[in-house]
Amino acid sequence: MRIKTTFLQHASDIIGDTEKGMTGTQIVKFFNAKSVENDIDIPHISTPFDAPNKRTAIFDNLLKFTNEQQFEIISELCDYINTESTAKLKQQLFERYSERPSTNNKENSSKSNIETFDEFVTNKKGTDKMKHIPAFEEFTLQNSKTNEMKHVKKFDEFNNSTNKQWWKKPKYFVPLLAALIIGLFTLSSAIINKPFDFNFQNNDCAYKLVFIDKATDRTPKFTSRTPRVRIYIETPPIIERIIDGTVCIKTDKDLEKEQVLIELENIKNYKLVDRKQYIQKGVTEIFVNGINK
């Protein structure tokens, strides 16, 4: 089982996604633990990373592990993040790289199901529930191999019947309905109160600067209503508005060719960790520190 490099890069992009992926601190803690567990040296063990972004750091770390360890790590991270993208990624991982169980494993699985069913039926509470299933009167527990598959099938039917339409039960339905109403109300309030910027919503950005609070590894909350950033690469400088901690630059200028000087404007509660930055096409993370008054 060899996981392709392109798949590792794809997984790194999803796991290190700026909005829905892991934070830099979470990446460091997870991979340091895996490094100790498997006795493997990895290149990125602290933040800020010696890499352009989080996705590159994850990819570099994954390359140091064996294929089996890469499979385990990606699977665990998909469960940890638990988004629609990671669910699809995990499905692709198992479809392409998991080994099919042997015949012996299938036989052991069948025997395990039968033993579990035997234990359930011998339990008084389980027997009381089984009385409500008409097929139970006709069902007998026999040890012959002819009836083993029937045994397992009846067990699956029992599980399906007891768990059928669980969400319709009052103890589940009422909390789910309340949570749905609260969620819709919160979402509608956020949409109404948040100004819509057509320029920012356009994903046609040559460069994206994502500001990150170094202390919390999250998007900083600027107190100013009109936070801006100045980028000195020419005269006059490029001035862009910061929206939700992100700057979208639609320019054809090759900003990534040389180091630039940046300054925050109309922002009093944060300052830049480093005013000199190398900006790359796509996403560039800019770290800031809070100012305590």
Q: Domain count for the chain, please give it.
A: 3
User: Tell me, what's the pLDDT at 282?
Assistant: 84
Residues of the chain where predicted confidence (pLDDT) is lower than 70: 1, 100-170, 190-203, 235, 251-254, 293
- For residue 168, the model assigns a pLDDT of 63
Please count the other Cβ atoms lying within 10 Å of the Cβ belonging to residue 58.
Answer: 29
Instruction: Tell whether 207 and 285 lie within a shared domain.
Output: yes
pLDDT at 125: 45
Same domain, 91 and 113: no
116 and 73 in a common domain: no
Same domain, 145 and 120: yes
Instruction: Note whether residue 187 is domain-resident.
Output: no
72 and 14 in a common domain? yes
User: Where in the sequence is the domain holding 137, given as residue range(s)?
Assistant: 103-164
Flag whether 182 is in a domain.
Answer: no
pLDDT at 72: 93
pLDDT recorded at residue 158: 54
Answer yes or no: pTM beyond 0.95. no
- 176 domain-assigned: no
Looking at the structure, tell me whether residues 140 and 207 fall in a common domain.
no
- Among candidate residues 41, 64, 97, the one where a domain is terminated: 97
pLDDT of residue 71: 94
User: Does 283 share its domain with 231?
Assistant: yes
